[in-house]
Amino acid sequence: MPASARLAQALATAPDPESLATDALCHISAALSVLEMHVERSNRAMVVGIHDLLRSYHLKADRAAAEQPVEALASSVLPQMSADLQGLLEIIDRVNDDEMDDPILYAVSYLLRAAKRFSDAAPQA
């Protein structure tokens, strides 16, 4: 099968909710790891607050993905993950304004936006 045909087939196939949840959680874990290292070096209360909020969202999403049946991932877990990430991204954008301009928070934001893209890619039931 030619590469273009494989690509077309891959694009036409609906994304697997379990894979999307795993990919989103991997990106959230990466963002959390970056923030954990940043908290050790930063004395800013906002960075600590963002870290704590992300940690709670990660635990919530990880627990939900593990406990819910695969069929529920697309209808409940991934949309909730997307909503939580959207709220957190808005907080990071507000905190990381021109005055603070923290490059580590930009990296965290980038990882979380990738996680949100995975959570948003779930097919709607």
The full DSSP string for 51-86 is: HHHHHHHHHHHHHHHHHS-HHHIIIIIHHHHHHHHH
Q: DSSP label at 101?
A: -
Q: Give Cα 1 to chain centroid, integer Å.
A: 34
* pLDDT score of 4: 64
More confident residue, 4 or 120: 120
Domain for residue 8, yes or no? no
Domain that holds residue 54: 15-120
pLDDT digits (tens, 9 = 90+) for 69-107: 988 899 999 999 999 999 999 999 998 886 778 999 999
Indicate the number of domains in the chain: 1
* pLDDT score of 10: 55
Q: In angstroms, rounded to a whole number, what is the distance separating the alpha carbons of residues 102 and 104?
A: 5
Domain for residue 3, yes or no? no
Q: In angstroms, rounded to a whole number, what is the distance separating the alpha carbons of residues 87 and 96?
A: 14
pLDDT digits (tens, 9 = 90+) for 21-49: 999 999 999 999 999 999 999 888 999 99
Domain for residue 7, yes or no? no
Domain for residue 68, yes or no? yes
Tokens representing 43 are: 């004395």
Domain for residue 10, yes or no? no
Domain for residue 40, yes or no? yes
The residues, ordered by sequence, that sit 6+ positions from 68 with a Cβ below 8 Å of its Cβ are 76, 77
* pLDDT score of 31: 98
Is it the case that residue 7 has pLDDT exceeding 90? no
- Global pTM exceeds 0.95: no
Domain for residue 1, yes or no? no
Domain for residue 85, yes or no? yes
From residue 75, give the alpha-carbon distance in Å to each of 15, 18, 35, 98, 106.
13, 12, 29, 37, 30
